């Protein structure tokens, strides 16, 4: 049985086709989230990747910020549940998930069967989210995917003292004007995001194993800084940004099986 998960985010659309709820048969990830053409295009690309047609799909579940806008979905599921299901599928030992997406950050606790026990979320402030990195990458004219390469070359990470993205933006510009080395500045930016998210994570009991999900998981500069700040190693999967879509496809499978 094929099921389909679509995660329509604030910045990116992610899709996964799953076979029998336990095998990733196809996937897609496209820049452009809610309100753009990307969700529809991501659906097409994932089906093409899995060599399936719409009529082959037994159920579709939508998650993410734009989940209510996807009319072809049989189910709409919260991102918290989907990130939990997706992360637990990839890492069966995971108990704490730190999800940093384009406009929010969440810390999710799971029990030993992968069910959500607790969560905390920052969706009020861009600092400590992918948005902060996107703004800074734009100032530095560096693609967001290359920030980690610069961060790895830092000798002495800069200190970004502003907690507000708008003030931090001015601070970064004045540090640039002062002639700071770019790698040191980028490392400071990654540390700043990690500092904000670790403060959120410390309000929940962090039980290992710990993994990251969401797009920012791909940034090793943030991952390493976060790991140091919370005092736990952080599991990484190249599927991290797809965890929500994987979870949605698993949710659709579980629902369909129960209905049969
Ligand atoms: P959303 O679901 O809100 O669209 P995502 O979980 O897809 O959010 O994450 C989007 C964020 O991930 C972007 O704001 C960006 O900062 C970050 N990101 C995307 N691609 C990369 C990459 N290759 N390396 C590092 N960070 C990335």
Alpha helices in 91-152 (DSSP H): 130-140, 147-152
Protein residue with its CA nearest to atom 22 in ligand 1: 145
Task: Give me ligand 1 centre to Cα 217, in Å.
Answer: 8
Strands 75-76 and 96-100 turn out to be unpaired
Q: What local confidence, expressed as pLDDT, does residue 199 receive?
A: 93
Q: Report d(CA 72, CA 191) in Å as an integer.
A: 40
Q: Tokens standing for 209?
A: 């194993």
**122-148: pLDDT as tens digits:** 988 888 999 999 999 999 999 999 999
What's 242's DSSP letter? G
Q: How many CA atoms lie within 13 A of 117 on its CB side?
A: 14
More confident residue, 15 or 161: 15
To test the pocket of ligand 1, the residue of 31, 79, 241 to mutate (highest count of ligand atoms within 8 Å of its CB) is 241
Q: Report d(CA 220, CA 227) in Å as an integer.
A: 10
Residues with CB under 6 A from ligand 1: 9-12, 33, 64, 101-103, 130-131, 133-134, 144-145, 214-216, 218-219, 241
Q: Tokens standing for 244?
A: 């929500």
**186-224: pLDDT as tens digits:** 999 999 999 999 999 999 989 999 999 999 999 999 999
Helical axes 165-177 vs 130-140, angle rounded to 10°: 30
In this structure, of 56-65, 119-128, 226-235, 246-255, the range with the lowest mean pLDDT score is: 119-128
To test the pocket of ligand 1, the residue of 102, 147, 213 to mutate (highest count of ligand atoms within 8 Å of its CB) is 102
pTM here? Answer: 0.96
User: Which three-class secondary structure state does DSSP give residue 205?
Assistant: coil
User: What is the set of domains in the chain, with CATH numbers?
Assistant: 1-91+240-260 (3.30.420.40), 94-236 (3.30.420.40)
To test the pocket of ligand 1, the residue of 8, 144, 197, 242 to mutate (highest count of ligand atoms within 8 Å of its CB) is 144
Strands 23-31 and 116-122 turn out to be unpaired
Q: Closest ligand 1 atom, CA of 12?
A: 4
Distances (CA, A) of 203 to 108, 122, 196, 200: 11, 12, 12, 6
Q: Report d(CA 220, CA 211) in Å as an integer.
A: 13
Q: What local confidence, expressed as pLDDT, does residue 123 receive?
A: 81
Check if the beta carbon of residue 18 is closer than 8 Å to that of residue 249. yes
């Amino acid at each position: 049985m094929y099921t389909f998960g679509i995660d329509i985010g604030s910045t990116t659309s992610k899709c996964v086709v799953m076979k029998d709820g336990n095998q990733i048969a196809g996937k897609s990830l496209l820049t452009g989230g809610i309100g753009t053409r990307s969700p529809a295009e991501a659906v097409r690309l994932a089906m093409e990747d899995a060599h399936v047609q719409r009529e082959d799909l037994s159920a579709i579940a939508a998650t993410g910020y734009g989940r209510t806008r996807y009319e072809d979905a049989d189910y709409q599921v919260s991102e918290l549940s989907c990130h939990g299901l997706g992360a637990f599928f990839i890492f069966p030992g995971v108990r704490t998930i730190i999800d940093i997406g384009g406009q929010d950050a969440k810390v999710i606790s799971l029990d030993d069967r992968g069910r959500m026990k607790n969560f905390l979320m920052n969706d009020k402030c861009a600092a400590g989210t992918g948005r902060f990195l996107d703004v800074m990458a734009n100032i530095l004219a560096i693609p967001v995917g290359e920030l980690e390469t610069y961060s790895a070359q830092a000798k002495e990470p800069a200190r970004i003292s502003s907690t507000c993205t708008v003030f931090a933006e001015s601070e970064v510009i004045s540090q640039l004007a002062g002639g700071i080395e770019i790698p040191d500045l980028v490392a400071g930016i990654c540390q700043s995001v990690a500092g904000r998210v670790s403060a959120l994570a410390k309000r929940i009991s962090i039980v290992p194993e710990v993994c990251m999900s969401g797009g920012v998981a791909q940034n090793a500069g943030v991952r390493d800084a976060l790991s140091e700040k919370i005092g736990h190693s952080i599991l990484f999967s190249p599927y991290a940004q797809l965890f929500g879509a994987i979870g949605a496809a698993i949710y659709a499978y579980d629902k369909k099986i129960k209905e049969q």
